[in-house]
Structures are given as structure tokens and as C-alpha cells.
A and B are shown apart, each in its own frame.
Chain A
Amino acid sequence: MVLAMASSRLQEPSFLILTALAAGPQHGYGVIKDVQEISSGAVTLRVGTLYGALDRLTAEGLVELDHEEVVDSRLRRYYRLTDAGGAHLAAEASRTRQQANTALRRLRESGATRAATA
């Protein structure tokens, strides 16, 4: 079941959350800040979006609870990537890179064609 779910493609928020957790365990607020940084400010996760994605990724076995601590009377729960989560992120990153490379190559080729015909 987990494998079947994990074989599905990641949406952008999930991809970015897994990318943030690839550096090590982080709490919710840390993930939001990290995602903002990874996306160069293009993506700001809302709290509902973050926890919706975390619920889904946890159910799929891609993310798990690492530990929790209380800072200034506030509960911080740290999440980490599982082995399956790391493998899935790697596969997804590779697929995205392949698609991006193809897009760039075709743009270069069509640019060269346009230059030749001009």
C-alpha cells in the first residue's frame, strides 16, 4: 500500500517539504522558512497546507516523527525523512531534472533553427 502510494508523483509543496527535510530533521516553522528559502521566496506554505502535506506524507511512510521539544512553552515537533522518503525524493528529483534537461535542449535546438532560418 505504501509503495503504491509512494509511486505517485509529488505535488510541489510535498516535493519542497521533502527537500527541506533532506537536510535533517526540522519542526513545522523551520520547514516553512526553509521552503521559502529553497524556492527563493516563490512559495510560502500556509500552516494548513503544511500539515495537510505532512499528514499525507506520514501516512505514505515518506516522513516520520523524529522528536519533540518545548521551547518558550511552545511545542515543537521535529520530522525527518524516512528511507522510502529519501528514495522517492531522489527519484522525483531525477525525473524533474530529466524533464528540465529535455526542455532546455529543445529550446536550444529550436533557437538554433530559428537563428539558421532568420
Chain B
Amino acid sequence: MSGDAGQAAQDEASSRTAALAASYRRILRLFPPRYRAEREEEMLAVLLDCAEPGRTTTSWAERLDLGRLAAVAWVRTALGPSAEARRDGAAVLAILLPLLLLFPSGRIALAGAESRRYHVLRDYLLLAAWDWPAWLLWTGVAALVLVGLARWARWPAVAALSVYVAVLAHQLSAHNGTSFARASGWLLAQVVAAALLWSPMRAQRGTELVRARWRWAIAAGVAVLSVAAWQGVFLAGTVYMGPRGHGDAYRLAAGAVVVAGLGAAFVWLRRPTGRVVVPGVAACAAFALAVRAWSSQLSDSDWRSSASPDLHLEGLVLVVVAPVVALLVTRILGELIRLDPPPRTDHAAASSAASATGEG
């Protein structure tokens, strides 16, 4: 009889513990997937050890405490990939970001071709002059990083940045504030790339990105592809396309590139290096778009008249907030779709070994 009572009490206690464990698990679902995979079982054990006997639900204090830790874990997840992934991603960003200057270079060349009936093409070439030297210098930087000479790559990077800043400063002094604002995104991309190259940790990493036997081939490939791509855009605008209607073809091609880029970014987000590179590019792109939107709010008179500077503060706030939001959203998205499994713990290994033995 007493044995039955003892058994009943034991059953009651274990059902209460199971209910409490389920309650804790519901709160632990608030944590990032990776954090849960690493810590959930361990934390659950400690929570159950700490709980007073007989409890079946969590307290408000525990919910707040764990909720706060979950929020911190999400912020850390959004901001802090592993050191190795950061180094790889930074080196890729240092190569990738400045090469995006191909876009404004080609676009301005195309604009010159589009309007050749009405304007002298030479004027457009001069207008694009600040992009080309910078872009060519950055192509050299990319080649140097890829062959493992990241330290040497710093100097052409500084030269490219200086050229770009000098011409932009000239634009600003000529009261061409809108041009300055529209070029700010490209300026940011170069500043980020140069900063990454000047960090000793990042610069060293470039030598490990590509296997030695492939470095020269890839570097030569980047250089040839960059020059050829620019020539391709330029020739497409000046020779093969007529003055009317070819803007649609250009927009169609640009749209295809954007869609392909978004698809590639989504796939790459699932890898550690991609989770650094894609958010970095997304933040720069968001900044560029926000500045562009902000600049469109500004009339010429805003820049030229010091008497009534109407800066459109909501646009200025967007310039600050948009890159941060883009960075966080892509980082969290990357965390949700990541491919690499969490580190395998002894506990998980023991569990799978036990189940394998049971099956055997």
C-alpha cells in the first residue's frame, strides 16, 4: 500500500517536473537557434535544479531574467560572428566593395553615349573622371590582396580614396551638393575597404583567402575582368546601342544583375563568411540609397543658400538608421538560415551513441 502511495507521489513529482520543464522550454524558444543548440539543455538543467519542489510554471522574475538574456543573445548574434568569419569576411569586403565602383563608372559613360545627340561626349567623360582613376586603383588593390600582398595594397587604396575625396570636395566647393550626396555611398564603400586593409589583422588574412597556386591566376583574372567589364559597359553605350530606347536594355540588364546578386547573397548568407560580407554590403547599399533619397529632397537652392538651410531631418535620420537596420536584419536572417551546424557537444555525442547502441 505504502509502495503504491510512494509510486503515486513519484509520478506526481515527475509530471510536475515535466510541466515545469515544458514551461522553461517555451521561454528558451526566445533565444537564437544557435544559442539554443549550444545552451538549452544545460540551462534547463540549472533552471530545474534551482526551482523549488512542486512548481509547475515559471515565475515572472524568471521570464524577465531569461527574456533579457535572450535579447542580449540576439544582439550579440546580430553583431558578432566568429573572429575567423570576421577576418575572412573583412578581406572579401576589402576586395569586393571598391570594385562596385564599376557601376557608377559604366553608368556615367552610358549616360554620355545616350545623350551624344545633344551634348559633347567628352563632357560626360570628364564628369566621370573621378570614378575611373579610383576604380582602376582599387582593381590593383584587389589583385594585390589576392596575391597575398595585402600590406602593399594599403597604399594604392589610400591613393584611390584621396583621388575620390579630392574630386568630391571640388564638387562640393562648386555648390554641386547633390552630386556629392549621391556619391557618398561609393565613398563609404571605399572608406570601409581602406579601413579594413589598414587593420593589421584583416590585412594578414588576405594571404589565406586563396590557395597559393591560384592566387596569381585569380588576381590576373580580376584585373582582366574589371577592365573588360568597364570596356564592355562603355562600348555597349557608345557603339552597339542607338541613342533611343537602349536605356531599357540597360535597365533590364541591371535588373537581372540585381536579382542574381540578391539570390547569390541569400545563398551566401548561409555560410560564415557570407554572414559578414552580405550584411556589410547591405549596410553600405542602404546608406547609399538613403543618402540618394535624402539628396532628392534637397533642392539646389538648399545647398546654395546659407540663409535658409532646410536639411530635411527625417531624411538625415534615415541615413543613420537605414544602414544599421539593414545590417541587423541581414545578420539575423543569416543566423536563421545558416547551414553550418552548432558545435557538437559531448552530451549530443553521448545521446547519439546511446541511440545507436539501442538500435544495434
Contact = CB atoms under 8 A, between A and B. Distances in A.
Interface of A: 27-29, 32, 46-52, 55, 67-68, 70, 74-77
A68 B346 contact: yes
Interface residues of B, number: 25
Closest 3 CB pairs of A and B: A74-B45, A48-B65, A48-B69
Interface string B35-49: 000010111111111
Is chain B's interface secondary structure helix, strand, loop, or mixed overall?
Answer: helix
B304 interface: no
B39 A46 contact: no
A19 B230 CA distance: 63
B196 to A, nearest CB: 16
Given A52-B69, A68-B345, A75-B41, A47 B46 contact: yes
A55 B47 CA distance: 17
Nearest to B27: A48
B48 A74 contact: yes
A55 B76 contact: yes
B62 interface: yes
Interface in B66-119: 66-69, 72-73, 76
B174 interface: no
B61 interface: yes
Contacts of B76: 55
20 contacts: A28-B42, A29-B45, A29-B46, A47-B46, A47-B50, A47-B65, A47-B66, A48-B66, A48-B68, A49-B69, A50-B46, A51-B69, A52-B69, A55-B73, A67-B346, A68-B345, A74-B48, A75-B42, A76-B42, A77-B42
B347 A47 contact: no
Given A28-B42, A68-B346, 4 more contacts: A27-B46, A52-B69, A68-B345, A75-B41
Contacts of B39: 51
Contacts of B66: 47-48
Interface of B: 39, 41-50, 61-62, 65-69, 72-73, 76, 345-347, 350
A55 B42 CA distance: 13
A47 B76 CA distance: 18
B111 to A, nearest CB: 46
A67 B346 CA distance: 8
A49 B65 contact: yes
Contacts of A77: 42, 345
B106 to A, nearest CB: 40
B23 to A, nearest CB: 14
A37 to B, nearest CB: 15
Contacts of A48: 62, 65-69
Nearest to B68: A48
A29 B46 CA distance: 5
Given A67-B346, A68-B346, A70-B347, A47 B42 contact: no
Contact of B65 (A27, A46, A67): A46
Nearest to A52: B69
A29 B43 CA distance: 9
B72 A28 contact: no
A75 B45 CA distance: 6
Contacts of B347: 68, 70, 75
Contacts of B46: 27-29, 32, 47, 50
A32 B65 contact: no
